[in-house]
Amino acid sequence: MKTSTKFAVLFLAAVSPAAFAQQETAQLTTNGTGPIAYVYVSSNPTQNQTQINAYAADRKGSLRLVPGSPFAENGSTLAVGGKWLYSSDTVNIYSFSIAANGALKQVSSINAQAYNGYADGGPISLFLDRTGKSLYDLDIYGNIGANNTFQFFDIDQSNGSLSYVGATSTATPNFETPLSFVRSDQYGYGGGCYHGDQALYGFLRSESGVLTDLNLNPPFPAAQDGAYCPYLAVSDGRNHIAVSLSPNNDMTPTGPTQLAVYTVDSSGTLTTTSTYQNMPVIDVTNLQAMSMSPSGKLLAVAGSGGVEVYHFNGANPITKYTRLLTTDAISQVYWDNSHHLYAISPTSGELFVFTVTPGRYAQSPGSPYAIANPYAVVVRPAP
């Protein structure tokens, strides 16, 4: 049976020219006043048009358009690593080079759907290992036209082209979200709960990028009513992962989503001390995305009710930090390396920027920025 997809593209009103007037072309320099990061947002300004909006971010989190932006593309899903950006239209994966000023140029493409053996499904999300050596996709209906797999591709660092390496031998509808890697790329984890089946899964990653199922049977905290369903898992870059857990009884929600912590041991096994009592309850409702800051100390959580940030404390319980930074529905969030959090809202057609440290938080100058139908956001530190 095919799993239902959660990845519909939303079509909103096009942005007016006046809204873009504030977003001047980036003036890029090579001294300390230059950009600290480049921000890329895929969008669908019209039903038959997709593009990548590229911005240069300064140290305060203010954005200016990169010269040539927006850049035409055929896909919507994004991933970025090193000097390459990737997008996918659920059939093909496209590689773009990133110039010194943040500008994009498509350099190659590969038909990822062709490798699953079915004229159905294909990549619905893209992600890289922590070193940027391998590109992965979540291949929906990638096995028997019904179950999902993870495909892996080798990246030619000289030209950004991709070579198909393989796909996971394990295939299941429970594969719903990208993996998050820990321990210098040795292990990657994700979560799913197809038809109420609890699945917190992990893979061993080889030097060539191949993923081997760890066949985990991790413990789950006891829910107050029913059982917890895992969904999103993100790593702190060390040996801990944050996992969203939503209580349900026979696929009927019985309470709000909470945030658990798992510790990864040397063999990839997961353990937890999280309980119903010590897991915080999220305020955003209808969870859509989570993102860990590069320091591993802050966890951004987004959903239909907005976005908020928590303190991540290693193996200790996650603790509340910010209020809701916005109450607009947020579908994706991404951090740069300079304490800025980027969040897109398909419903309001905006890109938000927040400056968040463990001690203070505020919306960055100029935020939010109008973008028609934003779909995905990624960030690359400036060279």
Burial environment of residue 233 by CB neighbours within 10 A (0 to 12, 13 to 18, 19 or more): buried
6 pLDDT exceeds 60?
A: no
The residues that bridge with 237 in the sheet, in sequence order, are: none
Give 165's Cβ-side CA count (13 Å radius).
23
Burial 71-87 (b: 16+ CB within 10 A, else e): bebebbbbbbbeebbbb
Q: C-alpha angle 75/76/79, rounded to 5°? A: 100
The model's pLDDT over 218-227, given as tens digits with 9 standing for 90+, comes to 999 999 999 9
The model's pLDDT over 159-180, given as tens digits with 9 standing for 90+, comes to 999 999 999 999 999 999 999 9
* Radius of gyration, CA atoms only, the chain: 20
**What does the alpha-carbon distance between residue 22 and residue 271 come to, in Å, rounded to a whole number?**
49
Structure tokens, 163: 């070579």
Side chain identity, residue 140: I
The model's pLDDT over 291-328, given as tens digits with 9 standing for 90+, comes to 999 999 999 999 999 999 999 999 999 999 999 999 99
The model's pLDDT over 198-225, given as tens digits with 9 standing for 90+, comes to 999 999 999 999 999 999 999 999 999 9
Kindly state the percentage of the chain with pLDDT values over 90. 85
Q: C-alpha angle 34/39/40, rounded to 5°? A: 140
Domains of the chain (ranges, CATH numbers): 35-171 (2.130.10.10), 180-329 (2.130.10.10)
7 pLDDT exceeds 90?
A: no
Can you give the pTM of this predicted structure? 0.91
**What does the alpha-carbon distance between residue 22 and residue 241 come to, in Å, rounded to a whole number?**
39
**What does the alpha-carbon distance between residue 143 and residue 147 come to, in Å, rounded to a whole number?**
5
